[in-house]
Structure 1
């Protein structure tokens, strides 16, 4: 890695104390299924497939009156105290013959060290100034699963990076959603991996734990990217921890363009059968008690035990073992005849 890149990375992660004190930890897959208790509560075989991580109390309805921290008996995230649920769409590779297979995932590397997970994603909670932790019952959504126009997406908050290094441990580029990062999913055989970043709003209206569209009660602050959220607007004056999802999609085995579609369609799409413009993430808060507030107040950092906040880190074997049976059973592994949309998926 060139010194200029090293300097840019170091500058980003050392720009202030808040950035240094962010939580950064892995979550393995809890389940991959077609449920979405935020957008389609109570529905099985929802319009598209999700990968879900976090507490094992995740269910089809996720009643806001229930506390995931008390209902869950384990979490697929490394922090024992975090029984929240996080989910995203699934990336698929479309082959020339029209069949689909899920793109495998790996944990992230980066300047702060490697994170180990079994599928899933890596999570960041980035404080900035006086930060108020989420309340019991809080939930929100970033992005739009139906959007087909990349111009309607803030590239500073939702983006993709062509990862040209041989593994996730060799850092590529600078801070998230900068440089050559794009809203669209890269289609370049030089990409060894595709890093997906989803940054959530960090400003809250201070009143509503949710809203009909799961977005109006929160807002993005000034600026973009992983800066702790920026200054908040007067309509949403309460600063929240800035949540960021990072996913590393391993596309190495799909580098041969002879495998790619010849009809002009893209080789990589999300489970809505739409590209990067429809990337989105869902969040349901479920930290135990006031552990997240204590973590923000006491400068808990990275993926480490933090006695001042009562935070403890599990081994990867422990959080990998926290899984859940599909509530909407269908084949999601291997080659599929069609994208899992509408009826149950069928093996090719």
Structure 2
């Protein structure tokens, strides 16, 4: 019976059940005898094809973008099947789908570049344990609302929606005292994902938001005042990773700065847009929304349709600042430079690129990467995104959106072949209800883990404004 239960749910994402206290000959927990099913929470882990890309010719970029979006949809669909108890062949079917999609991507690349045969070995997925346990009565339903079964790629996700937004509320645990969704359900987050900030030992020295200091450092700062997304600029696109594809992120982003940013924005469209920044900065700044787990659900892409339930929290503040280098002067960023910090799939990919951090006001010498902070009364939740500050001097982007930029060492020195640029640091604060009451949007199989937090940036500063920022930073001034 245990084996059968596990086999039923091993699939492309979500929670696999392994009964640990079930009675022999009885498929139901015997609550009268004090026996109860417990399950080990798991999710799916697939090789990150996008992260392994090294060269994508211009002629193949749209097809590769659609392929990456299709791979994410396939995992999401398998996740839904598993959590709805229909995942007996989910891993096998997922591998078949991924093989076809990756092969088509490789064919597109091979028309104008060397065929990336190394990608073809990345179709298989496995089950990853979260290290958490749940009782059987807390895992019925996934809180994941999509009914997409598209095995192909390049189609608009919205074409696959079904009616019935109430489906995305199934399985949520409700706090009878506050009416909020309690963490620990199959869609995440887990109670283990939270930590009382007052019990965390100081680990960061000065807050990450502090500018460089010391002899030789470029100690100035340049701040763009771009608001808190009071106008409600939201979408679930991913213009850097999956341009040209609607709902490429499967989670909703907050945007400040450029008002035209969506999946179909190119450099020309962004340069012609208006901005929320008071100094004329046209750059695009965005990050996943934070939601209050209040039991509400909006059945649309990036929200309940993709397992992201709860009311969106508007930041209390959002500070956009560029700072200098510990080792010396910085040079101007090129127009169109794209940078991603953090990793939206860090829970399954590992933490090598998990650069975002969490804290509380008044406690910012204590930074958390894999926990949400529980802040004292009157203290706000803080998200900090420190972006890569070394550029290869040639490319505004790279095939995996990472290798054209990197971080300096602690002395501000860039690796050979890289040069120092102004470091973007974003600090976003929130007023949240007390307790385990909030979570960041994520891909469904990432289970709303705080380690998946990330930020995205496209430089569209007018050149004279970028020159002003660089001069200000290098002169040790504070400018806006």
TM above 0.5, one fold? yes
Q: Say if 1:201 and 1:195 are closer, same or farther in 2 by CA, change over 3 A.
A: same
User: More relative contact order in 1 or in 2 (CA 8 Å, sep 6+)?
Assistant: 1
CA contact (8 A) 1:202 1:243 kept: yes
Q: Say if 1:203 and 1:145 are closer, same or farther in 2 by CA, change over 3 A.
A: same
In structure 2, distance between residues paired with 1:134 and 1:270: 30
Deviation at 1:190, TM superposition (A): 2.4
CA contact (8 A) 1:94 1:101 kept: yes
Matched, 1:240 2:421: yes
Q: Which residue is equivalent to 2:360?
A: 162
Matched, 1:280 2:467: no
In structure 2, distance between residues paired with 1:133 and 1:198: 20
Q: Say if 1:189 and 1:207 are closer, same or farther in 2 by CA, change over 3 A.
A: closer
Deviation at 1:271, TM superposition (A): 4.0
Query: Map of 1:127-276 to 2, 5 A cutoff?
Result: 127-128=324-325, 129-148=328-347, 152-153=351-352, 157-163=355-361, 172-173=362-363, 179-188=365-374, 190=376, 192-223=379-410, 230-235=412-417, 237-251=418-432, 254-255=433-434, 267-272=438-443, 273-276=447-450
Deviation at 1:255, TM superposition (A): 1.0
CA contact (8 A) 1:150 1:277 kept: no
Structure 1: gaps (5+ residues) = 1-6, 108-120, 164-171, 261-266, 305-348
Deviation at 1:285, TM superposition (A): 0.9
Structure 2: gaps (5+ residues) = 1-204, 298-308
Q: Say if 1:161 and 1:150 are closer, same or farther in 2 by CA, change over 3 A.
A: farther
CA contact (8 A) 2:219 2:324 kept: no
Which consecutive aligned stretches of 4+ in structure 1 deviate over 3 angstroms post-superposition? 11-14, 16-20, 95-99, 298-304
Deviation at 1:245, TM superposition (A): 1.1
Query: Map of 1:117-136 to 2, 5 A cutoff?
Result: 121-128=318-325, 129-136=328-335
TM-score normalized by the length of structure 2? 0.47
Please list the CA deviations of residues 187-219 of structure 1 after superposition, one character each: whole Å capped at 9, or x if unmatched. Answer: 526263210001111111111110011111011
Please list the CA deviations of residues 303-338 of structure 1 after superposition, one character each: whole Å capped at 9, or x if unmatched. Answer: 54xxxxxxxxxxxxxxxxxxxxxxxxxxxxxxxxxx
CA contact (8 A) 1:197 1:245 kept: yes
Relative to structure 2, which stretch is displaced further, 188-197 or 201-210?
188-197
Q: Which has the larger radius of gyration?
A: 2
278, 282, 303: which one pairs with 1:83?
282
CA contact (8 A) 1:149 1:277 kept: no
Q: Say if 1:140 and 1:256 are closer, same or farther in 2 by CA, change over 3 A.
A: closer
In structure 2, distance between residues paired with 1:150 and 1:195: 24
Please list the CA deviations of residues 5-36 of structure 1 after superposition, one character each: whole Å capped at 9, or x if unmatched. Answer: xx967x95583485642113332226111122
CA contact (8 A) 2:290 2:440 kept: yes
In structure 2, distance between residues paired with 1:14 and 1:53: 25
- SS state at 1:231 partner: coil
Q: Which residue is equivalent to 1:116?
A: none
TM-score normalized by the length of structure 1? 0.64
CA contact (8 A) 1:125 1:244 kept: yes
Q: Say if 1:49 and 1:12 are closer, same or farther in 2 by CA, change over 3 A.
A: closer
Deviation at 1:159, TM superposition (A): 0.8
In structure 2, distance between residues paired with 1:276 and 1:78: 31
CA contact (8 A) 1:270 1:276 kept: no
Q: Say if 1:233 and 1:103 are closer, same or farther in 2 by CA, change over 3 A.
A: same
CA contact (8 A) 2:442 2:452 kept: no
